[in-house]
Structure 1
């Protein structure tokens, strides 16, 4: 019994090592792809000026009750019968926490012509991280980065974690974040909407919101199968056999659309934005939408 357990443990260690080596082998290619996408997107977006705690004056705005008395710029307010607050140009770095789902379903790719959902999610997040760090913002990987960083070092560490890290569900089920954090969750979001409602409610309790980057394989949306087809649930080994898969196509597509609508409704309910991206389409469009959404929300 002990020898059998030892052999099982050894096989598991070998399998994990090979898995890690395979992931590491993909690292340069994925980083190069993310860098190319970030460079392309950067040409289409411009730097933004935002209000913050820097020292460079930007504009005056009307005083709001939550600002308090100390925020009033009395010199400017004395020129009229209204109270004004002095806003400065943003110079303090913000933090964006990124998460790439590491569940078994994210390893799916329906053909050799499309990447796995996990790889596409990592590429999109790394490209966005590159754009954010270029703007002086700090990035971290949710549940894996102890310290949020900016610059080349921060990008390098975040990139490795997004490709090689576990992407554990614990990171979104019991998140450790600061209030008002901005989050990007990249997943296929195949868990029941109730599960995601509970997860987003935990972020809401900490007054954090952000973007759901939903990664979809084309076969998942189109259901192109016909004839005798066996489907296997990733990770569980459970199978489902169809004698004529095409007969289930309409019902499947309706259920798929309903699931997407429920996710979008959840995002709106909690003040998040959902972006859906298919792996058979250029990642550039997803990165551009994601970056613009983050820029708009701050």
Structure 2
């Protein structure tokens, strides 16, 4: 089972790099292709139907991943179908409210579902390379903040980012999931291999 966060925050790119969303979509579809070619079934958590095999299913997953529309600032997993004992990958920046994610993983663990959280971030979100006068605006445009001394925000921002990552790791440890981090300037092939290997070990 795959869940790709398609919220507005995932559309961010700090440079000539793919957006977080495009990287997550690419990795998810590649995982689905590998699973189906290996004789497994693949499914998308947003869809009502259970995981299936075959080329037709890959087309359905690809179509669903590319669907547009109005989206919230941050995403939250609400899987409709999580078969008992299945394996899953959730791809997101995980910067929104952690409550729904905690509920989803707790429910998954109760059903014997194991998997991996892949946090996808742009390098600028890790480095916070901003100084002086800076205007910060959310991807949806709903939030806008201007400061004359952006560098003074760096320490507090990085502390909160590291605290969120520690929270994600703890959640994975409690539910039997794995946590992985991927930056959009890194090799997608390496991330795909790590995810596929983690899923294979869960068999």
TM-score, length basis structure 1: 0.62
Q: Does 1:122 align with 2:33?
A: no
Unaligned runs of 5+ in 2: none
- For 1:203 and 1:235, the matched residues in 2 are separated by 30
Note the aligned Cα RMSD (angstroms).
2.2
Equivalent residue in structure 2 for 1:189, among 73, 94, 100: 94
Equivalent residue in structure 1 for 2:77, among 167, 172, 175: 172
Q: By how many angstroms is 1:243 displaced?
A: 0.9
Bigger radius of gyration among the two: 1
Aligned to 1:105: 9
Q: Does 1:148 align with 2:51?
A: yes
- For 1:174 and 1:132, the matched residues in 2 are separated by 19
Q: Equivalent residues in 2 for 1:222-241 (5 A)?
A: 222-235=127-140, 237-241=142-146
Cα gap change, 1:145 to 1:165, in 2 (>3 Å): farther
Q: Equivalent residues in 2 for 1:32-43 (5 A)?
A: none
Q: Does 1:250 align with 2:155?
A: yes
Return the structure number with greater relative CO, CA threshold 8 A, min gap 6: 2
SS at match of 1:207: coil
Deviating 4+ runs (over 6 angstroms): 165-171
* Structure that is richer in helix per residue: 1
Q: Does 1:137 align with 2:40?
A: yes
Equivalent residue in structure 2 for 1:158, among 51, 58, 61: 61
Deviates more, 1:232-241 or 1:210-219: 232-241
Q: By how many angstroms is 1:277 displaced?
A: 0.4
Q: Is the CA contact 2:5–2:76 (under 8 Å) kept in the aligned structure 1?
A: no
Cα gap change, 1:272 to 1:159, in 2 (>3 Å): same
The number of equivalent residue pairs is 201
- For 1:267 and 1:233, the matched residues in 2 are separated by 28
Q: By how many angstroms is 1:174 displaced?
A: 5.5
- For 1:192 and 1:160, the matched residues in 2 are separated by 27
TM-score, length basis structure 2: 0.89
Q: By how many angstroms is 1:221 displaced?
A: 0.8
